[in-house]
Amino acid sequence: MAEDLGIIGVGRMGGPMAGRLIDAGHRLVIFDTSAEAMAPLAARGAVAARSARDVADRVETVFASLPTPDIVRAVASEIAEGSRVKTFIDLSTTGPRTTVAIAEALQAKSIAMVDSPVSGGVAGARAGTLAVMVACPPPLLRRFEPVLKVFGRVFRVGERPGLGQVMKLANNLLSATAMAITSEAMVMGVKAGLDPRTMVDVINAGSGRNTATEDKFPKVVLPRRFDFGFTAGLMYKDVRLCLEEAEAQHVPMWVGSAVRQLWQYASQSLGPGADITEIVKCIEDWAGTEVGGNR
């Protein structure tokens, strides 16, 4: 059934997800600090709001797809003052403690929160194949699962806000580790004389295959495109949040600590806006060799 929905943050991930909601027949009210990001959706009939508060004044259900915990907190504070909003569905990666604090603040305003981070990248957002990790009470899940299925496969990971965030951080730690360690292995092999495409084929037929060897290296790194669509700064943020949660839970993360250090270096040296696949350049610079290109 078509609904009036709001979505705040229509950039790399939020834009394609908003587009899928329009495709599914929903009527959207959107807001983003970038007018350029809103323009394609407005051209398709979405109503461009003046602020996050304006969205919350117009619709009962507000989604958010935002880059950092601080931005999500600020937006949630605006939404809390909205005159119509009843449910806030956060698709962002904020970490569990931020999500719990936001949920408590919204509850005081009689606004329900659905903790629902997503994974699968820009391609998954466009195709509707994201993993949607939902933590909320069962009645809220029953109410919103049909809408969330527009984005991809819905997984109920728990009832408490924050559990979706823990699931997302665990997922992104593994993704970040795969990209970092694959970069090191590939540079080593190429410097020793192996062909990078042969390396990828062998690894993907063997026990070392992972998301970087199956997707990012053959499609983005070897052709030297570096346009996967997720930034080094955001990946470092997610790994940092994951290790902060591990520390709070008294869970040691020896490998995770090394991964965080490398992503921190990549974000600082390449710039936080660099594509995550560019982390291989850090290893290449140190080794004095290059993976991929025309061979």
Q: Please give the Cα distance from 29 to 176 (Å, whole number).
A: 34
Checking if the pLDDT of 108 tops 50, the result is yes
Checking if the pLDDT of 53 tops 70, the result is yes
Cα 33 from chain centre:
18
Marked catalytic residue, from 86, 168, 237, 281: 168
Sign of CA dihedral 278, 283, 285, 288: negative
Average pLDDT of the chain is 96
What residues are paired with 153 via a beta bridge? 131
Checking if the pLDDT of 295 tops 70, the result is no
The more confident residue out of 3 and 136 is 136
| Percent of the chain's residues with pLDDT above 90 | 97
**Beta 4-8 vs 61-64: how paired, if at all?**
parallel
**Beta 152-158 vs 47-48: how paired, if at all?**
unpaired
Cα 189 from chain centre:
31
Checking if the pLDDT of 29 tops 90, the result is yes
CA angle 102, 104, 105 (to 5 degrees): 65
What confidence category does residue 36 fall into, taking pLDDT thresholds of 50, 70 and 90?
very high
| Percent of the chain's residues with pLDDT above 70 | 99
Stretch 176-196: mean pLDDT: 98
Check if 216 is active-site: no
CATH class in words for 166-287: mainly alpha
Checking if the pLDDT of 12 tops 80, the result is yes
Cα 165 from chain centre:
11
**DSSP conformation letters of the chain:** ---EEEEE--STTHHHHHHHHHHTT-EEEEE-S-HHHHHHHHTTT-EE-SSHHHHHHH-SEEEE--SSHHHHHHHHHHHTT-SS--EEEE-S---HHHHHHHHHHHHTTT-EEEE--EESHHHHHHHT-EEEEEES-HHHHHHHHHHHTTTEEEEEEESSTTHHHHHHHHHHHHHHHHHHHHHHHHHHHHHHT--HHHHHHHHHHSTT--HIIIIIIIIIITTT----S-BHHHHHHHHHHHHHHHHHTT---HHHHHHHHHHHHHHHHH-TTSBGGGHHHHHHHHHT----S--
Cα–Cα nearest to 185, from 221, 142, 230, 236: 221
- The domain spans of the chain are 4-160, 166-287
CATH class in words for 4-160: alpha beta
**C-alpha radius of gyration, the chain, whole number:** 20
Stretch 158-167: mean pLDDT: 96
Stretch 26-39: mean pLDDT: 97
pLDDT, tens digit, for every residue of 227-278? 999 999 999 999 999 999 999 999 999 999 999 999 999 999 999 999 999 9
What confidence category does residue 3 fall into, taking pLDDT thresholds of 50, 70 and 90?
confident
Stretch 131-156: mean pLDDT: 97
Stretch 14-41: mean pLDDT: 97
pLDDT, tens digit, for every residue of 188-236? 999 999 999 999 999 999 999 999 999 999 999 999 999 999 999 999 9
What confidence category does residue 293 fall into, taking pLDDT thresholds of 50, 70 and 90?
low
**DSSP conformation letters of 19-58:** HHHHHTT-EEEEE-S-HHHHHHHHTTT-EE-SSHHHHHHH
